[in-house]
Amino acid sequence: MERPAPGSYEHDGDFQQLEGPYFGRYGGQWMPESLMAALQEVEETFRKAIKDPEFIAELNDLNTNYINRPSLLTEAPRFAQDHPGVRIFLKREDLNHTGSHKINNVIGQALLAKRMGKTRLIAETGAGQHGVATATAAALFGLECTVYMGEADTKRQALNVARMEMLGAEVKAVTIGARTLKDAINEALRDWVASVDTTHYLLGTVTGPAPFPEMVRYFHQVIGDEAREQSLEQTGKLPDAVIACVGGGSNAIGLFHGFLDDKNVQLYGMEAGGAGVETGKHAAPIALGRVGVLHGARTYLMQDEDGQTIDSHSISAGLDYPGVGPQHAFLHDTGRAIYQPVSDSEAMDAFKLLTRSEGIMPAIESSHALAGALRLAAKWVADGVVDETTPQDEQKVIIVNLSGRGDKDVSTAATWFGMVPEDHAEAGE
Amino acid sequence: MTESIRSLTAEKIEQARAEGRTAFIGYLPAGYPTIDDSIEAAVQLGNNGADIIEIGLPYSDPVMDGEVIQKATAEALQNGFRVADVFHIVKEVTSRTDAAVVIMTYWNLVDRMGVDEFSRRFAEAGGAGLVTPDLVPEEAGEWFEASDKYELDRIFLTAPSSPDERVKLTVDSSRGFVYAVSVMGITGARGEVSNAAERVVRRAHDAGAPRVCVGLGISEPHHVVEIGSYADGAIVGTALVSALRDNGPQAVGEITRNLVTGASKN
């Protein structure tokens, strides 16, 4: 398919009401027939559950008393100080149990798995955050758990492998293909085809076949709903822009959803630009602009002329995926959200700035969103939209989704900034 | 099934039936280990008893394939296989054997070239139809149109897990034959044919499919005999790929001769 220009797709409807299986021409169920019955079961269970007050009460209780919701909205004035007239707020998903937004979706799907009578969870993981969250939910609910992880990732995230194993999960290293996240998804799908009677595939992002993009979004919508309310409380108005990093895009869609129908709130998704989109070493499928079908959904993909998936590259393992959620593809085409690549080095600069200016160490994934916020703030200042004389109630407000904490990234960051001796550099690879 | 358009695979299966045989369908990956050797191997397959040859298109993310086929197709890609090479392979194999030639492909490869363009070039090369392991009828709008336009067979899969209404949808959408997945799993040789297979075939027949062939886990002549008692064809893949890997194209001919001894009902 040819690349459509941003904004080329007309959509006059209510964005918040979008359900699967299609988002415009994206999404769908490009799946083996063997899994179609299971997808149908997941969808029916999901639709019934979200209308069941008992399910909602259980989910709310776990959100409050296990995950630690609502997460804070923290202003970061020292981080924003070079951009007078711009206020930057952080949505603190890093303070959730297990350290990232991933737990929101995992708890929701694990409850559904129990409703379906499944006794085993399987999951894919790149950096290990989703794997750790899934292993955590399996421990909480007494379910078996197998996590697929590319061999390359098991080596660079050895501590997270140990964490999952301590939680009782079996971690299977995937030794075929590029040995990264996309291959872990392939292997999890192969497992699911053979184990679907007893097993729920707890997909970790808003990609995959319907109902996953809509269902995973649903469990993350709490991020945007809370942020909207907190913005009104703390600033007396809605934000001018909300910004999130986009790999598969689950934390971004969770934040965006609360603001989709607030036409004056700009939505920004920051893709992983790696070494730069022009180098080919990146994980920015929307910037690349090639539409195809991968892992069950029609969406933007990193693919070559033949349709073979191209290996993605990013310093952030969590963004290192060659596709993007179909709803993001749709929001791009409609122009409702703007997607831009952020390079490894811009992200790492933002990582350092937040750590030093606010004492908050962000995940490298979230650092892409922070870099996007600095870029937007700098543009407003350069364009003369705001300056040091702007009264507070007219200042621009940005909410950044701080989707995860940076503890897991310390060795990568130490290597990047040259803080470890050369012969220890492999620790961060 | 749609019967108004001529179907090359249906003709082959009916010819086998008339000769008192179960149709034999063999799978080999395109470009493995090289383009020329993949042609030689497919010709051996066709000239030693296969009624239909299924050429698999190597893909970076083959979620329905086990280790043997994954490794073979990955090697083909490493050796520089390009999707458009398959048309040359199909043309050679159709001109050098009497078998009908179908392509097994994950959908993104067809989508990327364009469904109409892929279908036109494949039909020009003499191809008979497509086996589509990750395309369900709900997503196949463009393929319905192109396969009617170029008179190609649409071979959809039905599985042990398929509910009745999905079996019906698959049967109504297919042309040529229906591919019955014998087991909940991926490709690979297994000791015995799953006991789920007979039920999958019966349900497809009951839903109106005139021809149902069984694949996944079939590697021995006695598997072919067993399948012949209830199905219209047996599909073998991994066993052929292993033979090609270990002993070259000639070995594909030998193992095919051995397997088709199970296909005779006399």
Residue A195 with chain B: CB contacts under 8 Å: 184
Choosing from B51, B54, B92, B232, the catalytic residue is: B54
Does residue A74 fall inside a structural domain? yes
pLDDT of residue B192: 82
Asked if residues A80 and A110 have their Cβ atoms less than 8 Å apart, the reply is no
Q: Report which residue type is found at A289.
A: G
**CATH code of residue A47:** 3.40.50.1100
pLDDT of residue A178: 78
Alpha carbons A397 and A235: distance in angstroms, whole number? 8
- Residue in chain A nearest B187 by alpha carbon: A190
Residue A50 DSSP SS3: coil
Asked if residues A223 and A254 have their Cβ atoms less than 8 Å apart, the reply is yes
Name the domain count of chain A: 2
Does residue A12 fall inside a structural domain? no
pLDDT of residue B5: 87
Q: First and final CA of chain A: distance in angstroms? A: 36
CA nearest B233: which of B201, B190, B207, B255? B201
- The answer to whether domain B8-260 has CATH 3.40.50.300 is no
Which pLDDT band, with edges at 50, 70 and 90, does A8 fall under? low
Which pLDDT band, with edges at 50, 70 and 90, does A429 fall under? very low
Q: Tell me: do A193 and A300 sit in the same domain.
A: no
Give the pLDDT mean for A168-188. 91
What Rg value do the Cα atoms of chain A yield, rounded? Answer: 20
Distance of CA A219 to the CA centre of its chain: 12
For residue A330 the two structure tokens come to: 């749709």
Does residue A373 fall inside a structural domain? yes
Which among A157, A180, A212 is the end of a domain? A212
Q: Which residues pair with A300 in a beta bridge?
A: A291
pLDDT of residue A428: 42
Q: Report which residue type is found at B223.
A: H
Q: Report which residue type is found at A13.
A: G
Asked if residues A243 and A366 have their Cβ atoms less than 8 Å apart, the reply is no
Give the pLDDT mean for A229-255. 98
Ranking A12-26, A263-277, A326-340 by mean pLDDT, the lowest is: A12-26
Q: Which residues of A touch B (CB under 8 A)?
A: 1, 28-38, 40, 176-177, 182-183, 186, 189-190, 193-197, 292-295, 301, 303, 305-309
Q: Tell me: do A90 and A230 sit in the same domain.
A: yes
Instruction: State yes or no: pLDDT of A47 exceeds 90.
Output: yes
Does residue A11 fall inside a structural domain? no
pLDDT of residue A288: 93
For residue A291 the two structure tokens come to: 């539409």
Q: Tell me: do A137 and A249 sit in the same domain.
A: no
Q: Do B61 and A190 count as a contact with CB atoms less than 8 A apart?
A: no
Q: Tell me: do A152 and A289 sit in the same domain.
A: no
Q: What is the mean pLDDT of chain A?
A: 93
Q: Tell me: do A262 and A201 sit in the same domain.
A: no
A304-319 pLDDT tens trace: 999 999 989 999 988 9
Q: Using CB atoms within 10 Å of the CB of residue B258, give its burial: 0 to 12 exposed, 13 to 18 middle, 19+ buried.
A: middle
Q: Tell me: do A170 and A133 sit in the same domain.
A: yes
Alpha carbons A238 and A240: distance in angstroms, whole number? 7
Q: Tell me: do A92 and A135 sit in the same domain.
A: no
Q: Tell me: do A249 and A351 sit in the same domain.
A: yes
Q: Show Cβ contacts of residue B25 under 8 Å, excluding neighbours closer than 6 positions.
A: B50, B51, B52, B53, B54, B213, B215, B233, B234, B235, B236
Which among A212, A228, A249 is the end of a domain? A212
Instruction: State yes or no: pLDDT of A422 exceeds 70.
Output: no
Q: Do B161 and A38 count as a contact with CB atoms less than 8 A apart?
A: yes
A353-393 pLDDT tens trace: 999 999 999 999 999 999 999 999 999 999 999 999 999 99
Give the catalytic positions of A in this structure: 102, 124, 403
Q: Do B156 and A190 count as a contact with CB atoms less than 8 A apart?
A: no
Distance from the Cα of B242 to chain A's closest Cα (Å) equals: 18
Does residue A346 fall inside a structural domain? yes
Distance from the Cα of A317 to chain B's closest Cα (Å) equals: 19
Q: Tell me: do A276 and A261 sit in the same domain.
A: yes
pLDDT of residue A12: 59
Q: Tell me: do A294 and A388 sit in the same domain.
A: yes
Q: Tell me: do A163 and A38 sit in the same domain.
A: yes
A283-304 pLDDT tens trace: 999 999 999 999 999 999 999 9
Alpha carbons A122 and A113: distance in angstroms, whole number? 11
Which among A164, A192, A212 is the end of a domain? A212
Task: Residue count of chain A, please give it.
Answer: 429
Alpha carbons B112 and B102: distance in angstroms, whole number? 19
Query: A interface mutation test: which of B57, B59, B61 has the most A CBs within 10 A?
Result: B61
Q: Report which residue type is found at A225.
A: D
pLDDT of residue A374: 98
Alpha carbons B107 and B163: distance in angstroms, whole number? 23
Q: Do A30 and B82 count as a contact with CB atoms less than 8 A apart?
A: no
DSSP string, A61-98: HHIIIII-PSPPEEE-TTTTTTSTTEEEEEEEGGGSGG
A17-40 pLDDT tens trace: 778 799 999 999 999 999 999 999
Q: Tally helices (H) and strands (E) across chain A.
A: 14, 15
Alpha carbons A158 and A127: distance in angstroms, whole number? 10
Distance from the Cα of A167 to chain B's closest Cα (Å) equals: 28
Choosing from B40, B65, B92, B232, the catalytic residue is: B65
CA nearest A427: which of A223, A195, A228, A159? A159
Q: Tell me: do A265 and A208 sit in the same domain.
A: no
Distance of CA B23 to the CA centre of its chain: 12
A369-378 pLDDT tens trace: 999 999 999 9
Regions of chain B with pLDDT less than 70: 1-3, 266
Q: Which residues pair with A400 in a beta bridge?
A: A90, A243
Q: Which domain holds residue A39?
A: 22-63+102-212
CA nearest B259: which of B58, B27, B13? B27
For residue A20 the two structure tokens come to: 């699967």
3-state per-residue secondary structure call for chain B = CCCCCCCHHHHHHHHHHHCCECEEEEEEECCCCCHHHHHHHHHHHHHCCCCEEEEECCCCCCCCCCHHHHHHHHHHHHCCCCCCHHHHHHHHHHHHCCCEEEEECCHHHHHHHCHHHHHHHHHHCCCCEEECCCCCHHHCHHHHHHHHHCCCEEECEECCCCCHHHHHHHHHHCCCCEEEECCCCCCCCCCCCCCCHHHHHHHHHHCCCCCEEEECCCCCHHHHHHHHCCCCEEEECHHHHHHHHHHCHHHHHHHHHHHHCCCECC
Does residue A17 fall inside a structural domain? no
Distance from the Cα of A270 to chain B's closest Cα (Å) equals: 26
Asked if residues A9 and A22 have their Cβ atoms less than 8 Å apart, the reply is no
Alpha carbons B208 and B226: distance in angstroms, whole number? 22
